[in-house]
Structure 1
Amino acid sequence: MSYDPPRPIGRLLLTPEDKDAPERVRRLRRLGLGERPEPAFDAFADRLAEVAAVPYAMVNFIDENRQFFAGLHAPDGTGSGGRPATAAAADGAEPPDVGRYMARDYGFCPHVVVRRKALVLEDVCDYPRFAGNPVVDEIGIRSYLGAPLIDRTGIALGTICVVDVEPRPWGRAGLETIKALAAELVEQIERRESGGI
């Protein structure tokens, strides 16, 4: 009996087409979002990380080409990027820097924006569609929980997410929590737009 190793699944590993990107970019510009870090979003990311007990959390706005972490919590506490605890780091090698910008084909948030639904990946390696994403091998991400930020116009502006370098059993409670926090942040953005904050 012979064994055929699995072949790459091709399109399953690609970032989905984002037909709403031009409209999203116009909306983000009107709101003044997605071009600079903001202390309020960093504080929100800190809160996300604390609630989920994870090393990384983000408030992420996405355009046609990249993701921008307007809010970022990382283990180094700077909010300007961090160094995940990958196997390379354990061997003394320097892991890659994670900063405020990431290409659209890295990570899982672009999938959340296109799907317009929360995404729970307790162990990304269990999902062929996501296991081949560059953040798995290059950054060491093993677990993801994210929800879209859908504003009053119906546009998915971006996401909030938490990630870990170990598999995590998020469960129903994690899903409900991330969705509730996304709704809370959308309310803050809308109050800001109306001059409330």
Structure 2
Amino acid sequence: MSYEPPRPVRGLLLTPEDKEAPARVQRLRRLGLADRADPALDAFAGHLAQLTGASYAMVNFIGEEHQFFAGLSVTATAPIVREDGSRAEIGRVLPRDHGFCPHVVVRHKALVLEDVRDYPRFAGNPVVDEFGIRSYLGAPLLDSSGRALGTLCAADTAPRTWGRAGLETVKALAADLVARLEGGVRDGLPL
């Protein structure tokens, strides 16, 4: 009997443990941001999509069991057609183990994936196969206490060179958005 090394399991991606989730959910409720779409946040996501040229942009609040896109921008061409002919359409809610935002929230750091297939840790994520996501750019929404409320992110169905400019843009917009949310100012979003 010969030794056979374990085969990699496609789609295996451990979502990081999120010990801050209960406190984050309470904070989001206090700010009036719990699981409710917001036209001003949709506009803010649209502004990010326009700046980056991305197919998708989101203001994403991370709960204990799921993610909620309080702000969502999807280009007309974004819903991809799968091999079986069905369409993949992103809604407002995703399980917590889908996508890359939970990693940004737990790490409290921006994440740039120019081609997710280059990173074994991320290549098997469900959004890669289900929605055709190939690139991601996201920054945490860090409140004044340092707690990550969620993310501001952009994603695309093709590999993208986001570069330093993309990273600085998403980080600056995330900081601006948090200042507005904590100040109760949603009118006038985006800039």
TM-score by length of 1: 0.86
Cα–Cα, structure 1 residues 143 and 5, in superposed 2: closer, same or farther, change >3 Å? farther
CA deviations over 1:122-164 (Å, ceiling 9, x no partner): 0000000000100001110000000000001221000000000
1:111-190 paired onto structure 2 within 5 Å: 111-190=103-182
CA deviations over 1:25-58 (Å, ceiling 9, x no partner): 1101111103210111000000000000011100
1:23 deviates by 0.6
Identity %: 63
1:3-82 paired onto structure 2 within 5 Å: 7-8=8-9, 13-76=13-76
Cα distance in 1 between the residues matched to 2:78 and 2:9: 29
Cα distance in 1 between the residues matched to 2:37 and 2:8: 40
Q: Which structure carries more relative contact order (alpha carbon 8 Å, separation 6+)?
A: 2
Cα distance in 1 between the residues matched to 2:7 and 2:178: 41
2:60·2:150 contact (CA, 8 Å) conserved in 1?
Answer: yes
1:34·1:62 contact (CA, 8 Å) conserved in 2?
Answer: no
Paired residue type of 2:168: E
TM-score by length of 2: 0.89
Cα distance in 1 between the residues matched to 2:135 and 2:7: 22
Q: Secondary structure at the match of 1:161?
A: strand
Runs of at least 5 residues in structure 1 that lack an aligned partner in the other structure: 77-81
**More helix per residue:** 1
1:86·1:165 contact (CA, 8 Å) conserved in 2?
Answer: no
Aligned-residue RMSD, C-alpha: 2.2
Q: Secondary structure at the match of 1:192?
A: coil
**Structure 1 runs, 4 residues or longer, greater than 3 Å off:** 3-6
Runs of at least 5 residues in structure 2 that lack an aligned partner in the other structure: none
Aligned to 2:80: 85
1:17 deviates by 0.3
- The count of residues paired between Structure 1 and Structure 2 equals 183
